[in-house]
A = this chain, B = another copy of it.
Amino acid sequence: MKLGFIGLGRMGEGMVPNLLAAGHDVTVYNRTAAKVQPLVERGAHAAAAVAGACTAGAVITMLADDAAVEAVSLGDGGIISNLGRGGLHISMSTISVALANRLTAAHAEAGLRFVCAPVVGRPDAAAAARLYILAAGAPDAVTECTPLFAAMGQHVLFMGDAPRSANLVKLATNFLIMSVIESVGEAMALVGKEGIDRRAYLEFLTNTLFDAPVYRTYGGLVVDGDFTKVGFAAPLGLKDVRLALAAGEELRVPLPLASLLRDRFLALLAMGGEALDWSAIGALAAHDSGQRGPMG
């Protein structure tokens, strides 16, 4: 399939090679051009502007936040003015439900098709084509994406006709991950202050009821206490919990645990943790109990 791909950050640069390897014809665009060359060497075409990535009539965006997706989609040189009637925009970034609403309306008005397909997985999963993809939009449009999703991910879940639903589920899932970090952080603060071996306790947990990747990965980070290797930065964690709370506000769903998580991120950033991994909030319970915190 012929398509454009906009956004070659840590996720996008891992996803494009998998599309190429599956035989797709990909034209890439990135704001900073340096990221383009390695992909051209692997068979991608380079576009000099957003418009150039839209000529195929289908384009994927994989960008950092609402502002970036909005800038690339709307406006004079943006996707909507360049994609051509009937074209397909697949938004794979984690964006707010509110922006998904606006983009859905804007694409419809322009006679374009819009699919949201945010992913669960870190950069290494993107590179290994092992992402989990949450897709929502008009069923025929989502079906058209099937070969693309197959090239990039290990699992696709169809979340319904409203593109925004996929983003909501993505935010709910990140909320669940943060909840694991917080709960393990509190449990470890408790047993740690008693003098119990926290690593042995984690091993017990992940060998029994809590035998899941999320406890092994994030429980391990909390027990290790080294948050300087960043898979997902703390400010992005704050952004995602803010978006989850905003979605809850729109739907009138109080989320007290999400509120607690938001306060944790703010405390972490206030302490100087901007450059830490988001799992560093898991050290705040220990900090508040007079033990070692996220800043050592």
Contacts and interface: CB of A to CB of B under 8 A. Distances in A.
Given A190-B253, A208-B132, A212-B215, A270 B288 contact: yes
Interface residues of A, number: 74
A240 to B, nearest CB: 13
Nearest to A286: B253
A172 interface: yes
A8 to B, nearest CB: 25
Given A200-B157, A215-B212, A270-B289, A251 B193 contact: yes
Interface stretch (A22-30, A173-181, A220-228): A173-181
Given A173-B205, A187-B172, A253 B285 contact: yes
Interface stretch (A64-72, A75-83, A88-96, A256-264): A256-264
A253 B289 contact: yes
A262 B249 CA distance: 9
A248 interface: yes
Interface string A232-268: 0000001000101001110111111111101110110
Nearest to A263: B254
B290 A270 contact: yes
A257 B259 contact: no
Identical copies in the complex: 4
A189 interface: yes
A37 B205 CA distance: 37
A110 B189 CA distance: 34
A108 interface: no
B285 A266 contact: no
Contacts of A157: 200-201, 204
Nearest to A179: B183
A159 B176 CA distance: 29
22 contacts: A120-B208, A168-B190, A172-B191, A172-B201, A173-B205, A175-B183, A175-B186, A176-B187, A183-B183, A186-B255, A190-B248, A190-B251, A190-B255, A193-B253, A249-B262, A253-B285, A254-B288, A256-B256, A257-B257, A257-B260, A259-B262, A270-B289
